[in-house]
Structure 1
Amino acid sequence: MYVPFDQLPASARIWIYQANRPFTATELENLQPALSRFADEWTSHGRALAASVAVLHQQFLVVGLDEAVADASGCSIDASVRFVQGIEQQLGIQLLEKSRMAFLLDGTVTLLDRTALKGAVAAGQLAAETPYFDATIAQKGQLAAAFPAPASQTWLGRYFPSAG
């Protein structure tokens, strides 16, 4: 059953799919009915799930689930991945590829290959306070406070010298 994303509780489980490019306004407009339909029809062992799907920062597809209503099963999670794969094919966009990290640089979501991280830190392109979009966040309540968060306050903290 569809629940508006902003009405999901802070405890709602989320899955973040990072796009390899921003969604266009036209893509977002055309995608909205499919996002709502998926959330409305998503089930686990025949039970309706209280779910929603949102696009944040024009680059992150976020699937949210109120597990207090019903938990996702392996089959229902597989169904959500198939849904995301369908969006990839429909729009020619990558959402499941995990080799890039997203930072907010000069107000723009910028992707950086994981292998370039150490070099970018050493060159001063990324600093401890550079906003980082941590796609491993698993609860909706963390989005407002930590998406993005200063890189040093995420799992990337080990790449920055301690401020003492």
Structure 2
Amino acid sequence: MVNLVMIFSPQSKVWIYQSSRQFTTTEAEEIQGKLNAFTAQWKAHGHQLNAKAELPYRFFIVLIVDQDAASATGCSIDASVRVIKEIENTYGVDLFNRFNMAYKIDGEVHVNSKEDFETLITIKKITPQTIVFNNLVQTLEEYEQKWEVAIADSWHSSIFAEQLNA
């Protein structure tokens, strides 16, 4: 992953959409093309947004807006959501289900339902050291420092405390 703090303000706004499955290489290339076209013309009240889109691990869509240049507004955010919904419909994925949990095992990203994730904790396939994705990060700085964290250091630990401590 490129260190975007060199290009964008650390306080740039970040939105993360997690896919219910990994995009194929071809899908990821097509989606990146759509997102590049969108961010190149993304405006807020007539002002061009300094924006970028990434597809880390081919599981996530990350939109970044450097608000030092111009801030995203309600209408511009709505425009981004329309693009995400279009991608969702075109590729048959769910990008808005916040109950899907993403994590890494042996460096490979997996996504499961909350229930299956809970089962994996119970059978100790997921431990407090397992890396999870904190899609609630708000800024570029948080994204680069706190997006991939051990479950023990994330909000997940409070939700699944009983299973993790069993």
Report matched runs for 1:35-74 at 5 Å: 35-74=35-74
Mapped partners of 2:116, 2:95: distance in 1: 20
Structure 1 length-normalised TM: 0.88
1:81 aligns with 2:86: no
Mapped partners of 1:31, 1:112: distance in 2: 22
Mapped partners of 2:38, 2:3: distance in 1: 13
1:113 aligns with 2:113: yes
> Where does structure 2 lack aligned partners over 5 or more consecutive residues?
none
Secondary structure at 2:68 match in 1 = coil
Instruction: Answer with 95-104 or 26-35: which moved more.
Output: 26-35
Flag the 1:74–1:105 CA change in 2: closer, same or farther, 3 A: same
Preserved contact between residue 5 and residue 64 of structure 1 (Cα < 8 Å): no
Indicate the residue corresponding to 2:130 in structure 1.
130
C-alpha deviation, 1:80, in angstroms: 0.6
1:28 aligns with 2:52: no
C-alpha RMSD of matched pairs (Å):
2.0
**How many residues get paired?**
159
Flag the 1:157–1:99 CA change in 2: closer, same or farther, 3 A: closer
Percent of aligned pairs sharing the same letter: 28
1:145 aligns with 2:145: yes
Residue 104 of structure 1 aligns with an amino acid whose one-letter code is K
Preserved contact between residue 32 and residue 55 of structure 2 (Cα < 8 Å): no
Flag the 1:14–1:31 CA change in 2: closer, same or farther, 3 A: same
Mapped partners of 2:139, 2:41: distance in 1: 22
Preserved contact between residue 14 and residue 65 of structure 1 (Cα < 8 Å): yes
Mapped partners of 2:12, 2:143: distance in 1: 11
